[in-house]
Structure 1
Amino acid sequence: MAKRDAPAIISKPNDLARGGFDRLPPIVSNSGAAASVKFIEFFAVTIRNRNTRAAYVQAVLQFLSWCEARNIRSLRDVQPVTIALYIEKHELSVPTIKQHLAAIRKLFDWLVTGQIIPYSPATSVRGPRHVVTRGKTPILSVDQARSLLDSIDTSTIVGLRDRALIGIMVYSFARVTAVIKMRRRDYFQDRKRWKFRLHEKGGKRHDVPAHHNAEEYLDAYLDAATFEKDAKALLFRTIDRKGMMTNRGMSRTDVLKMVKRRAKKAGLPFSTCCHTFRGTGITAYLENGGTIENAQAIAAHASPKTTKLYDRTSDEITLDEIERIVI
C-alpha cells in the first residue's frame, strides 16, 4: 500500500483559522504524514464555527510551540505531566486556560480516534475551577439605552441603519453575528406579526417576534435604503464615502467601531460593546416581570444558567442592603 502523502501546505497565514497552515508545527510534521493529515482534519472537519476554530488553532499552536521549546519532538512524546505543567504555568485568565485545555484534549482525542497515538495524554489532566454567577458584559440602564437610540441622527441612511441594527440587538437579544447575517428574507410576516429570523451559533435558526420599536426602526431603514428584490440580499451593509450603500455586508469589527462611536457621542461608558445590547435587553425584560425561562427562549440559550449571567436586576437590591451598614 502506497504511503499517504502529507497535505498540501496553504500559503496564506489567514488560512490557519480555516484549518489550513502556512507551516505545520515541527512536532506535527515529525510525527509522520498520517499525523499531519489528521492534525489538519481536526480543524477543517470537526469544527464548524469559524470563531471556535480560530480560537482552537491559536490555543493548540501555543501549546505545541511551548512543547518544542522543551525539546518535545513528536506528538507521541507528549505526556500527561507535559500538559499539566503547561496548564500550571499558563499566565492567562482561567477561562482562557480552560479553553486551551479543551482544545488540547479534543485534538488528542481526535488523534487517538485516527490511530495516530495509542492514548490521549490530556484525559487525566484537570483544569482550574472557574464558577461564574454574574457575567462581565457591561450593561446599560434603560435610560442609557434610550439615550443612545435617541442620539442617533436618522436624517441619513447611516443613522437609520445603525439605529435599526442596535434596535434588533436590544429588542431581540440577538448576537451581533446573527444580526449581520440577516438577509431581506429574514424579516418576514407571520400571520399578523412581523418576525426576525436569526441564524445563531451551531447552525440554529431562531425566529423572534419583532418588537414594535425594532419593527419601526427597520421599516424606516428599509424605506430609505435601495434594496434589490433579491430575498438573499444582506440587510446591513457598509456605506461608501459618498454615502451610498455598497454590496458588502458589515463585519463584527465594523459594528463594534460604530457602537464605540455612537456610545462616545451619547456620553456612555467606553466599555459599551456589541454584546452590551444583548445583556441590556435581557435585564430590561426581567426588570419588567419577564421570566428567566422566557428570556432563555428569546435569547436562544441552551441553559438558563447562561441567561442568568446577563441578569443584573439584583444589583440595586444589593446596593440598598449594603447602604444599611451605618457606621
Structure 2
Amino acid sequence: MSSPTTLLPFQPATMSTAQLAAVSFLARYSARTHQLYQFQLREWFAWCEGNGLDPLVGVQRAHVELYIRSLGERGLMDSSVVSMMNGVRGFFRFAHIDGLITADPAVYARLPKVQRDESRTQGLDRLELIRFLQVAQTITVHHGALAYLLGINALRASEAAGVRIEDYADTLRGHRVLHLIGKGNKPATMPVSVPVLRVLEACRGQRTEGPLILRPLSGQPIDRRDAYRMVTRIAKAAGIPRHISPHSLRHAAITNALDAGVPLRDAQILARHADPRTTEHYDRARGNLDRHAVHFLTAYVAGV
C-alpha cells in the first residue's frame, strides 16, 4: 500500500481509507482552496506517519490536540494554527458524514483563540478613493477599469482580473449586470452603474469578446499579480503614502458604502460575504473611533 502521506497521483485500487476520504474531501474544492487544503492534509498525514498513526481510522481527540500543539511548537502564530486546521477539520467532518468513522475526533479539539474584532486592512477614505479612481483613468483605460471594479463593485483581485467582456453584456430588470464566479466557485450577479459602465466600455474599445483588462504593453490578459502591480502604481501616482493592495480597494468599497448609509445587510450583499459577521468586522473598523460611546457620554455629561 502506498504511503499515507501520498495524496497524488491517485491510484484508487491501492489507496487506503484515509486517502480515499482525502480525495473525496478535496473534490469539493478547486483552484487555490484545493491547493491549500491539500497542503494542510499532507502535513497532517506526514505527522501521523511520523507518529505511527493512521490519518483517519482510530484517531482520537487527544491525537488532534497533540498535532495542534506541534503546530504551535513549530513557531506558527495562533492564527496560522487555526488556518492549518481548517482542512484537517473538514477532512474529519466529511469522513464522519460519509460513515467512514463513527465519531469526529476534531470537532471538540481546542484551537488557539484568535481575536478577529476588526479588519486590519489599510483602506481608503472617501476623498482618497475618489482621487484613486480619478488618477487610475489617467494612466491607462485598463488601470481605470481595474480601479472601478475593485473600488466600486468590491471585486477581489482574481475576480477583476478574470472579468470578460461577455460577462457584463446582459441587462436584467433594466440594469446592466456583471456575472462572475466568486470565491468558492459561487456565481454572483451585480449591477453595473453608469460611471462604472463608461470606464469598462472605454477599456473594451472595439473588442466584443475576451478578457476585459489587458496588460497595457503586451495586450495579454492580466492576472492576480498584475492587478497588485497596477494598484501599487495607481496609489503611488495618487500620492497615497501607505501600502495599498487590491484588497484595500475592496475594503474601501465596503467601508465607504457603510459611510454612505448603506444598511449592513446590503453591504454584505455587495461584499458577497456568506457570514454577516465578516461584514461587521468592516463596520467596526470604520466606526470604532468616530462613533465610540465616549463621544456621546462626553456630550451627555458636559453640563455637569
Q: Could you say which residue in structure 2 is the equivalent of 1:72?
A: 52
Aligned counterpart, 1:103: 87
Partner residue, 1:313? 286
Counterpart position of 2:229: 257
Aligned pairs for 1:239-278 (under 5 A) are 239=216, 243-246=217-220, 249-278=221-250
Confirm or deny: 8 A CA contact 1:188 1:195 kept in the other structure. Answer: yes
Identify the residue that residue 28 of structure 1 maps to in structure 2: none
Give the distance between the partners of 2:103 and 2:174, measured in 1 at CA: 58
**Kept after mapping to 1: 8 A contact 2:136/2:147:** no
The 1:117–1:164 alpha-carbon spacing in structure 2 relative to 1, beyond 3 Å, is same
Aligned residues: 288
For residue 110 of structure 1, report the CA deviation from its aligned partner.
4.2
The whole-number CA distance in structure 2 between the counterparts of 1:269 and 1:309 is: 24
TM-aligned CA distance change 1:167 to 1:320, over 3 Å:
farther
CA distance in structure 1 between the partners assigned to 2:9 and 2:67 by the alignment = 25
Tell me if structure 1 keeps the 8 A contact 2:121–2:247.
yes
One of 192, 195, 213 as aligned partner of 2:195: 213
Q: Which residue of 2 aligns with 1:237?
A: 214
What is the rounded CA distance, in whole Å, between the counterparts of 1:208 and 1:116 in structure 2?
Answer: 41
Instruction: Say if 2:180 and 2:187, in contact at 8 Å, map to a contact too.
Output: yes
Using the TM superposition, give the Cα deviation of residue 87 of structure 1 relative to its aligned residue in structure 2, in angstroms. Answer: 1.5
Calculate the TM-score normalised by the size of structure 1. Answer: 0.74
Deviation of 1:140 after TM superposition, in Å, equals 0.7
Give the letter for the 1:169 counterpart.
L
* Aligned match of 1:199: 181
Tell me by how many angstroms 1:317 deviates: 3.5
Which residue pairs with 2:257 in the alignment? Answer: 285
The corresponding residue for 2:106 is 122
Return the offset for 1:261.
2.7
Compute the displacement of 1:280 (Å): 0.5
Aligned equivalents of 1:123, 1:189: Cα separation in 2: 45
Greater relative contact order: 1 or 2 (C-alpha under 8 angstroms, separation 6 or more)?
2
Q: How far apart, in 1, do the equivalents of 2:99 and 2:258 lie? A: 51
Residue type of the alignment partner of 2:189: D
Cα distance in 2 for partners of 1:289, 1:169 equals: 20
Identity rate, percent: 23
User: What is the Cα-based RMSD across aligned positions, in Å?
Assistant: 3.4
Amino acid at match of 2:54: S
- After superposition, give the CA deviation of every residue in 1:277-312 in whole Å (9 maximum; x if it has no partner): 111011111212221111112222223222122224
How many Å separate the matches in 1 of 2:229 and 2:176? 29
Q: Is the 8 A contact 1:171 1:211 kept in 2?
A: no
Q: Which amino acid aligns with 2:113?
A: R
CA distance in 1, matches of 2:101, 2:186: 34
With normalisation by structure 2, the TM-score equals 0.79
Q: Deviations over 1:199-225 (max 9, x none)?
A: 2223332222223321221121112xx
Q: Which amino acid aligns with 1:282?
A: I
Could you tell me whether the CA contact under 8 Å between 2:151 and 2:252 is conserved in 1?
yes
